[in-house]
Structure 1
Amino acid sequence: MGKYRVGIDIGGTFTDLVYFDEDTKEFHITKVPTTPKSPAIGAINAIKDAGINFDEIDILVHATTLGTNMFLGQEHLLPPKIALITTKGFRDVIEIGRQRRPKLYDLFFEKPKPLIKRRDRYEVEERIGANGEIITPLNEEELCKIAKEIKNKGYEVVVISFLHSYKNPIHEKKAEEIIKKLCPNVDVIASHEIDPEYKEYERTSTTVVNAYLKPLMSKYLKNLITSLRNEGFNGKFYIMQSSGGVSNIKYATERPAGSSRCEHI
């Protein structure tokens, strides 16, 4: 068991580190410049600057603004090409959103643009009722045509979000199976796996955010843990979540939306 508990926050400008020494019962801090093109280097530099040995770290908790920076349009962070497949008639859910707005009486309020453009949103005939009953079976022939178009257009990630899938995900599961079979190089994300809650706008938008971040965050976190292991770190590694809790790396790479605003904790 190591003697250090370490927290690292990689921001756009600086990488901050705080560690607790179990022997002396003291906290120590250090700050180094962030290395934007390879943030893992900044984390390694921070640990070395703190003067602690990698093999003596028991727990390392990591927070990052990387996901937030992507939404802010940091130029070296390129979003993936995403397609959305949804129930026929609900193509524009993520654009319509809810009636709520930050300033109710602002006549010049501009609605944020959806992360997926209308040309990248597809509809398929299917319908699950509010109680989970199948009202309209999934049109697999129509879905196969969509899959062919997805493959030809070179999408990297596909989001599947069907009405009431939180109650009965049978159609989402089948659609996921078909898309994965016909488009083996595409990452497929179903809404019932990410946010199995009612209200189609919230569930769809959360899944879209997850898809937006997943390629970048998965690559980043895997590179970070590999770099740490190569330096001799063999302790427990956790990712800070926006909820104030932490997750393991497997969960964080599959559901990166949960850590997109963890720098505020």
Structure 2
Amino acid sequence: MDEVSLGVEIGGTFTDLVAYGPAGLRTVKVPSTTHAPEQGATTAVREAFADLGAVATVVHGSTVATNAVLERRGERVGLLVTAGFGDLLELQRQDRIDTTVLKYRKPQALVPQSDVVEVIERMAADGRVIQEIDRASAEAALDALAATGIDTVAVCLLHSYRNPAHELAVAELAAQRHPGLTVVLSHQVSPEPREYERASTTVLDAYIRPTVDGYLGRLGHTLETGGFAGDLHVMQSNGGAMPADIVRRNAIRMLLSGPAGGVSAAAVGIMAGWAPFAAFLSRLFPARVRYSGTAFSFQLAGILGGAFAPTIGVALYAGFGTPYAVATYLAIACAISIICSLLVRFVPDDDVEQIGERASSHAEA
């Protein structure tokens, strides 16, 4: 069977697909289905290939996780912290995006104070146990959160990146007392120092995990039903690709999945010689190179990624306290995306194929 690789990216208006295989390069554009994004992706795949059994790899980029955060449509999350650190998300950091605004207010935390509970335990910065975890307080905290109807709990205990024993104990208790409770542990999501950064990252993972898990589960099931037996990978925020089953348990890695594909494509373009630029951005998907993203992703993130990705990162980190940054990014990105869509129509197909071959040779080297 000839190997075929697909790249699928879901945008707000259109879902784009690029296929590369023995028959060459092929693109498909279909309307996105906002109520069920996976339907647009599967429609594009089926339009490209009637027999999904011929497809070896599908690499998928999506803004599903990003939209869930932007629109505040994530799961209700409870937070379990070390005793004395209940105000962790409220205090945040001293940093301010705009120091000239006199009426500045810190971004609203994803977890309200009422859904934060404390557990008696203490770990030293070097991983030594200062105070063993009080199982009674941990059980009471889990019971209190479950009683309010919370289904997802983020756990961020002090210095768990050095010694995760207490977080693992909480997860064990949760599995015993509340088997249906989803527990997200900070030492697994972000095993790094600085409690606020680790806590906020863990909370964000828990906030979008049900959305990402359900979405990728439905997408995988639909593809398998259509005969697909290959590998389904998802674009990460860092531009790499990861198996969908792993992303379902590490949802935070998909937060900037959509735009990241274009940044990775730009990197491959540099290796390939970078010309013609417009053709590369919107039509390249080299064989054996798992860089997702199509017309929208390439054009939007490939051109603006280097200049505007930090703006998006700051806006996300601050809880979107400055909507002007996000609005400006989207406006400029859309304008340049439209321009590139027009430019690419004047690029010969043989130029596209040439770039694909050069990128593939660099990747194999």
Tell me which interval the TM-score lies in, with the shorter structure as reference length.
over 0.9
Report the aligned-residue RMSD.
Answer: 1.5
Letter in 2 for 1:258: R
Answer with 1 or 2: which has the greater Rg: 2
Please give the per-residue CA displacement for 1:198-243, whole angstroms capped at 9, x wherever unaligned.
Answer: 1111111111111011111111101101100111111111010000
Aligned mate of 1:241, from 221, 227, 236: 236
Please give the per-residue CA displacement for 1:74-112, whole angstroms capped at 9, x wherever unaligned.
Answer: 7xxx42221100011111212221222222332233321
Gap regions ≥5 residues in structure 2: 261-365
Cα distance in 2 between the residues matched to 1:15 and 1:261: 17
Letter in 1 for 2:26: H
Task: Point out the structure with the larger strand share.
Answer: 1
Letter in 2 for 1:170: A
Aligned mate of 2:212, from 188, 211, 217: 217
Cα distance in 2 between the residues matched to 1:162 and 1:17: 43
- Report the equivalent of 1:144: 139
Matched, 1:56 2:54: yes
Aligned mate of 2:118, from 110, 115, 123: 123
Aligned residues of 2:115 and 2:145 also touching (Cα < 8 A): no
Per-residue deviation, 1:176: 1.3
Gap regions ≥5 residues in structure 1: none
Matched, 1:84 2:84: no
Aligned mate of 1:195, from 185, 190, 196: 190
Aligned residues of 2:12 and 2:34 also touching (Cα < 8 A): yes
More divergent stretch after superposition (167-176 vs 65-74) = 65-74
Moved over 3 A (4+): none
Cα distance in 2 between the residues matched to 1:181 and 1:90: 25
- Report the equivalent of 1:231: 226
Structure-to-structure mapping, 1:1-265, within 5 angstroms: 1-21=1-21, 23-24=22-23, 26-51=24-49, 53-73=51-71, 78-265=73-260
Cα distance in 2 between the residues matched to 1:129 and 1:48: 55
> Counterpart of 1:31 in 2: which secondary structure?
strand
> Counterpart of 2:56 in 1: which secondary structure?
strand
Per-residue deviation, 1:161: 0.5
TM-score of the superposed pair, with normalisation by structure 2? 0.68
Per-residue deviation, 1:51: 4.6
Letter in 2 for 1:264: P
Please give the per-residue CA displacement for 1:95-141, whole angstroms capped at 9, x wherever unaligned.
Answer: 22122222233223332111100000011111101111111221111
Q: How many residues align?
A: 260
Please give the per-residue CA displacement for 1:60-81, whole angstroms capped at 9, x wherever unaligned.
Answer: 100111111111217xxx4222
Cα distance in 1 between the residues matched to 2:2 and 2:15: 22
Cα distance in 2 between the residues matched to 1:105 and 1:137: 46
Identity %: 33
Aligned residues of 1:2 and 1:55 also touching (Cα < 8 A): no
Task: Point out the structure with the larger helix share.
Answer: 2
> Counterpart of 2:232 in 1: which secondary structure?
strand
Cα distance in 2 between the residues matched to 1:134 and 1:240: 38
Aligned residues of 1:11 and 1:66 also touching (Cα < 8 A): no
Letter in 2 for 1:38: A
TM-score of the superposed pair, with normalisation by structure 1? 0.93
